[in-house]
Copies of this chain bind each other. A is one copy, B any other.
């Protein structure tokens, strides 16, 4: 097998599918005035409010170079507040505003709407997710 072709590599389908799935999120998230990475940050904060930039970065595998401007945009939309941590002035605490918390209800239907758009059964979705998570853990715990 000639591996030096597009379709014979794992990475291209991964790269292309990731972008296609994000594209399917886009019209749904547009209604919330969120980009996909912004949505991921909001998901994290809805789960656990009041996290530092690096704590968010650890979960999303993003650094401050990406997160700082992104968080400033969420702040401009008044979805989060950014305040220096009193106990450790190096850290910046990200907290949901009332508007940010309220957005959660509007976002509640996004996952099922997406699954419909992707035409995935629960089984397919869970199976694929588990495989991806396994490989992801393999790569990040090195």
Contacts and interface: CB of A to CB of B under 8 A. Distances in A.
Interface stretch (A72-80, A87-95, A126-134): A126-134
A118 interface: yes
Interface in A38-63: 40, 43-44, 46-47, 59-61
Contact of A132 (B6, B14, B115): B14
A21 interface: yes
Contacts of A5: 43, 47
Contacts of A10: 21, 115, 118, 120, 125, 128-129, 132
A17 interface: yes
B7 A133 contact: yes
Interface residues of A, number: 53
A138 to B, nearest CB: 6
Interface string A102-142: 00100110111011001110000100110111011011100
A141 B136 CA distance: 28
A16 to B, nearest CB: 5
A132 B129 CA distance: 11
Contacts of A84: none
Contacts of A17: 14, 18, 132, 135-136, 139
A27 interface: no
Nearest to A139: B20
